[in-house]
């Protein structure tokens, strides 16, 4: 640090060679950062529902029976790949329910205007689910297989920890165990072996006591 004629300290700029410069990001890294999309558990469920609904609409318009199943599997793959690791458990249990809801909506839409509306809905829904069992099974299995290496076991452990922490009977069990421990420590650890049905024999009076009573 140098001092000028006025007495004020004068700062000396640091040499340029010592400054740390970050290397510029490559175009590939920028494109990856921009294209990285992370979904929540609800967002993944919305993706699965939207793809399945689109498949149902396409199948109804063009008569393609397998369109709903194919797009359902595609939506499952897309959702499980983009959902963040902490919400994988929510996504794993959602696809079967979402497929059932879309099938129910499709059956209700097809059965509008029929004389026996409820019967038509039940028959259409049963036929839809029966024909789509392979696609439903394939989508659910792929979701589990992809979610396991991405962190599904960790989510299960976290859920188990939360359930154990929120258990209302945990405090009572701990108090009960403490009470049992205190009782065990208060008891006499030494136990004398006494045969049942036998009483201790009475001691015979001593001769000295008998003689003293006779003299008296």
Would 14 be classed as within a structural domain?
no
Which of 51, 38, 52 shows the shortest CA–CA distance to 80?
38
Would 96 be classed as within a structural domain?
yes
Would 89 be classed as within a structural domain?
yes
Domain count for the chain: 1
Confidence check: pLDDT of 191 > 60: no
**Residue 114: pLDDT band by 50, 70, 90 thresholds?**
confident
**Residue 164: pLDDT band by 50, 70, 90 thresholds?**
confident
Q: What is the spatial distance between Cα 50 and Cα 101, in angstroms, rounded to a whole number?
A: 11
Which tokens sit at 117?
Answer: 């509306």
Sheet strands (E) in 57-214: none
Q: How many other CB atoms are there within 10 angstroms of residue 89's CB atom?
A: 19
pLDDT, position 31: 41
Q: Which helix (H) or strand (E) is 3 found in, with range?
A: strand 2-3
Would 117 be classed as within a structural domain?
yes
Q: What is the spatial distance between Cα 101 and Cα 52, in angstroms, rounded to a whole number?
A: 10
Q: What is the spatial distance between Cα 193 and Cα 4, in angstroms, rounded to a whole number?
A: 101
Q: What is the spatial distance between Cα 26 and Cα 23, in angstroms, rounded to a whole number?
A: 9
* Helix and strand counts by DSSP (H, E) for the chain: 10, 2
Q: Model's pTM, two decimal places? A: 0.63
Domain that holds residue 104: 38-164
Would 114 be classed as within a structural domain?
yes
Would 1 be classed as within a structural domain?
no
Which tokens sit at 181?
Answer: 């421990």
């Amino acid at each position: 640090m140098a001092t000028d004629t006025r007495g004020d300290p004068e700062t000396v700029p640091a040499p340029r060679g010592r400054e740390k410069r970050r290397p510029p990001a490559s175009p590939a890294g920028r494109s990856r950062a921009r294209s990285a999309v992370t979904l929540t558990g609800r967002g993944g469920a919305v993706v699965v529902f939207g793809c399945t609904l689109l498949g149902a609409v396409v199948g109804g318009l063009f008569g393609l029976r397998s369109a709903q199943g194919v797009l359902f599997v595609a939506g499952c793959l897309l959702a499980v790949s983009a959902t963040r690791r902490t919400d994988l458990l929510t996504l794993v249990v959602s696809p079967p329910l979402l497929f059932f809801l879309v099938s129910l909506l499709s059956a209700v839409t097809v059965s509008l205007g029929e004389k026996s509306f409820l019967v038509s809905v039940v028959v259409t829904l049963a036929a839809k689910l029966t024909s789509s069992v392979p696609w439903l099974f394939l989508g659910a299995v792929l979701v589990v297989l992809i979610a396991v290496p991405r962190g599904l076991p960790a989510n299960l452990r976290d859920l188990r920890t939360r359930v154990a922490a929120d258990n209302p009977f945990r405090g009572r069990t701990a108090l009960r165990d403490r009470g049992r421990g205190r009782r065990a420590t208060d008891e006499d650890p030494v136990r004398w072996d006494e045969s049942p049905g036998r009483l201790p024999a009475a001691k015979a009076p001593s001769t000295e006591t008998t003689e003293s009573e006779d003299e008296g």
